[in-house]
Amino acid sequence: MPVRSLVFSPSLHDSRILFSASDVGHVHVYDAEGKALLTSLSGHASWVLSVDVSPDGAAIATGSSDKTVRLWDLKNESSYTDINQPHRPQVWSVAFGPPSRTDVRSCMLAGVQVE
């Protein structure tokens, strides 16, 4: 299946970690240095079109053709927020903004839906 999006972890101790979003409906997490699949995150009902990693490397956001944005806790390997936009088109792209100067865990998240 086609890979729609790739992103490396921004964390210095996990910079070898690569995330891929694809049409299989999962996000695959790879050790790029060791060339091994570490885990797959599932929860979307359709293609995963985009993936981005939070600035602190603790979470990822995914956008899907199922019209949702999901936030994932990487420590627990689970989706903890599902931002559903009923009657909206699929989510083509997601991106975290830079962290605030006082709190690395505080940043904005944007998603793109094209009608």
Q: Which two tokens stand for residue 38?
A: 């570490």
pLDDT at 78: 72
**Rounded Cα–Cα distance for residues 8 and 20 (Å):** 9
Containing 23, the helix (H) or strand (E) segment is none
pTM of the model: 0.83
Distance between CA 25 and CA 23 in Å, rounded? 5
Which pLDDT score, from 0 to 100, does residue 13 have?
67
Tens of pLDDT along the chain (115 residues)?
A: 789 999 999 876 677 899 999 888 899 999 998 899 999 999 898 999 999 999 888 889 999 998 888 999 888 877 766 676 665 788 889 999 887 766 656 677 877 776 6
